[in-house]
């Protein structure tokens, strides 16, 4: 900057004002500095600037994996962070408890200003690992209310809407894939509750024989759940999977068994990933507002980094049912 100042015939402070877009600068002075910058091919040292501000300009996105939904979410977070001048470090944990703890409190924490975190293994008994002082926004889960900012999916209503849609197409024996023994605030438990509410609305009950666990939520998990149900003689005319990759695995298993989708068995997923739109047949899914989740999470994290003492905020985003070929009416 001293070289630029000398070439332009101004002070170093004036050059600093130039780079910080100081509004009260004479046009001819601004032009001389711009010419000097171009002649010297000068570039601002962003790392040094960040260090002086006590920040790295980097945030972390901590997710279980980078399949389907999370890969698309990562891209949305990167795009939402760009206008803030933030770089996103993406870290996967495979849903492992120690890796989630390490991501929040390990050595890498020194390189980030804050994190957006989708926990899978950590739960209500792990408060001390969440309350570390790191600016944090939690997405997806409700297990840490009052400890961080949250951006939530309306899990109960999302599953209720998906189940209601299948009931309205004439399906009555709906295999629910993705349920697991979890805390009441966990995504799987909330979506199971939504299914139960939709069935009750229709004067039906949730049949325990039509609940299929799948851990983790993968294509193989969805395929195995459907294959096991078919092998046990369980009768069902639809599958409601708790995410799209479970649903795609379920479709694969149905095809392998010689069953047609949707003529014999309808299939619905949750996430509305790109894979759903290009599946055969195209997969009906619930869009949980992924781009909005990313935008709100980044905005909340930026606010939290700037004002760490403010009350925590909880936001629930809108969702939308995307009806496609995989759940056509049973009577059509």
Q: Are 192 and 156 in contact (CB under 8 A)?
A: no
pTM above 0.85, yes or no: no
Q: What is the CATH number of the domain that holds 35?
A: 1.10.260.40
* 143 and 164 assigned to the same domain: no
Q: If you write DSSP's letter for every residue of 278-311 in order, what string do you get? A: TSSSPPEEEE--HHHHHHHHHHHHHHHHH-TTSP
pLDDT at position 53 is: 52
* 233 and 124 assigned to the same domain: no
How many domains does the chain fold into? 3
Burial of 210 (0-12, 13-18, 19+ CB in 10 A): buried
* 284 and 311 assigned to the same domain: no
Which residue from 113, 130, 112 is spatially nearest to 121, judged by alpha carbons? 130
* 37 and 127 assigned to the same domain: no
* 149 and 175 assigned to the same domain: no
Look at residue 247 and tell me if it is in a domain.
Answer: yes
pLDDT at position 258 is: 97
Q: Distance (Å, rounded) from C-alpha 49 to C-alpha 83?
A: 18
Look at residue 115 and tell me if it is in a domain.
Answer: yes
Look at residue 149 and tell me if it is in a domain.
Answer: yes
238-241 and 174-179 as β-strands: parallel, antiparallel, unpaired?
parallel
CA atoms in the 13 A half-sphere facing the CB of 153: 28
Look at residue 50 and tell me if it is in a domain.
Answer: no
pLDDT at position 142 is: 67
pLDDT at position 332 is: 47
* 228 and 145 assigned to the same domain: no
Report helix angle 68-81 to 290-306, nearest 10.
50
Give average pLDDT by consecutive 10-residue segment, the chain, 332 residues: 90 83 84 91 63 74 90 95 93 90 80 91 78 86 80 95 97 92 72 96 95 87 96 97 96 97 97 94 95 95 92 93 89 49
Burial of 52 (0-12, 13-18, 19+ CB in 10 A): exposed
Q: Distance (Å, rounded) from C-alpha 82 to C-alpha 88?
A: 9
* 230 and 259 assigned to the same domain: yes
DSSP designation for 215: S
* 163 and 146 assigned to the same domain: no
Helix or strand run (H / E) with residue 182: none
Instruction: Give Cα separations from 187 to 58, 142, 159, 206 (angstroms).
Output: 28, 8, 10, 18
* 187 and 278 assigned to the same domain: yes
Look at residue 199 and tell me if it is in a domain.
Answer: yes
* 18 and 116 assigned to the same domain: no
Q: Are 168 and 161 in contact (CB under 8 A)?
A: no
Alpha carbon of residue 226 to chain centroid: 26
Look at residue 332 and tell me if it is in a domain.
Answer: no
Look at residue 264 and tell me if it is in a domain.
Answer: yes
* 21 and 84 assigned to the same domain: no
* 136 and 89 assigned to the same domain: yes
Q: What is the CATH number of the domain that holds 283?
A: 3.40.50.2300
Residue-number span of the structural domain to which 113 is assigned? 56-153+290-318
Look at residue 92 and tell me if it is in a domain.
Answer: yes
């Amino acid at each position: 900057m001293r070289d630029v100042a000398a070439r332009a015939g101004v002070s170093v402070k004036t050059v600093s004002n130039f780079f910080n877009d100081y509004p009260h600068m004479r046009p001819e002075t601004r032009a001389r500095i711009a010419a000097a910058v171009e002649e010297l091919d000068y570039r601002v040292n962003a790392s040094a600037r960040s260090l002086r501000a006590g920040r790295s300009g980097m945030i972390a996105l901590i997710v279980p994996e980078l399949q389907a939904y999370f890969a698309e979410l990562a891209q949305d977070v990167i795009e939402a962070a760009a206008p803030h001048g933030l770089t996103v470090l993406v870290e996967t944990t495979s849903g492992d408890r120690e890796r989630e703890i390490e991501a929040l409190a390990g050595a890498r924490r020194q390189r980030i200003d804050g994190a957006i975190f989708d926990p899978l293994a950590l739960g209500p008994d792990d408060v001390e690992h969440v309350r570390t002082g790191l600016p944090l926004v939690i997405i997806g889960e409700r297990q840490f209310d009052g400890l961080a900012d949250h951006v939530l999916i309306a899990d109960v209503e999302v599953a209720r809407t998906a189940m209601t849609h299948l009931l309205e197409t004439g399906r009555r024996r709906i295999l629910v894939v993705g349920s697991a023994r979890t805390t009441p605030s966990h995504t799987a438990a909330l979506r199971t509750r939504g299914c139960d509410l939709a069935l009750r609305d229709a004067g039906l009950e949730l049949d325990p024989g039509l609940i299929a666990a799948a851990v983790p939520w993968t294509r193989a998990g969805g395929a195995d759940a459907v294959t096991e149900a078919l092998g046990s003689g369980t009768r069902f005319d639809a599958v409601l999977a708790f995410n799209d990759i479970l649903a795609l695995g379920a479709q694969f298993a149905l095809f392998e068994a010689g069953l047609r989708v949707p003529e014999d068995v309808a299939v619905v997923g949750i996430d509305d990933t790109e894979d759903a739109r290009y599946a055969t047949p195209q997969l009906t899914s619930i869009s949980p507002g992924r781009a909005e989740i990313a935008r709100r999470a980044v905005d909340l994290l930026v606010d939290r980094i700037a004002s760490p003492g403010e009350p925590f905020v909880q936001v629930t985003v809108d969702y939308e049912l995307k009806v496609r070929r995989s759940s056509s009416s049973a009577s059509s």
